[in-house]
Amino acid sequence: MEQDNIILLDCDERMEKSITSFSESLLKVKTGRASASLVRDVEVDYWGTMTPLYQIANISTPDATQILIKPYDKNQLKDIERAIINADLGFTPINDGQVIRCNIPQLTGETRAKLVKECYHMAEGAKIAIRNIRRDAISEIKKEKYPEDTERDLEEEVQKITDKKIKKVDDLAKAKEEELTNI
């Protein structure tokens, strides 16, 4: 009895990790509004080591159209500016000698549609990962050689977990679509 709980818990936990990964990916999709997550993981050459921007600078959004980057070490301004340009994020950093400002351009209708499509493509990837986890869990249940009715009940429980997680992915994608299409 305990083994079947372990299988279900493992299945649920792995599916939740897929959803978390998908959710983090959605944060990086531009919505026309400033967000620290757009530049957070840009890799900067910090004294010979590639380092994520958030580790070497304070990133803030003073308003909905601007990201403000204040490096802890002012000598890094040029390296940060170069890293943002090389990341090809769709905006140009402005270095004033103290901080770097990034003005976020408004998205066109065509760009919004393309981003919505990209979000749904990422959602489909998350759903595939969840279905693969379901397949693994059902395979694990079959290996345990449970009685037929117990096996069927466990498979139904795995399917319920799967349906719930896929609905969560769909809800996240729909929310991102609304965020992208609302001007």
* pLDDT tens sequence across 7-52: 899 999 999 999 999 998 888 787 777 778 888 888 998 888 898 9
Q: What is the pLDDT of residue 3?
A: 67
**Mean pLDDT, all residues of the chain:** 89
Q: Which residue segments constitute the domains of the chain, with CATH numbers given?
A: 2-28+108-181 (1.10.132.20), 36-103 (3.30.1360.40)
Residues 6+ apart with CB under 8 A from 23: 172
Q: Which amino acid, 166?
A: I
Distance in angstroms (rounded) separating the CA atoms of residues 98 and 95: 7
CA distances 85 to 34, 72, 107, Å, are: 17, 20, 19
The pTM of the full predicted model, rounded to 2 decimals, is 0.71
Distance in angstroms (rounded) separating the CA atoms of residues 116 and 51: 30
Structure token digits, residue 68: 């403000």
CA distances 24 to 17, 45, 158, Å, are: 11, 24, 25
Q: Which of 61, 65, 73 is nearest to 98 (CA)?
A: 73
Backbone angles phi, psi at 163, to 5 degrees: -60, -40
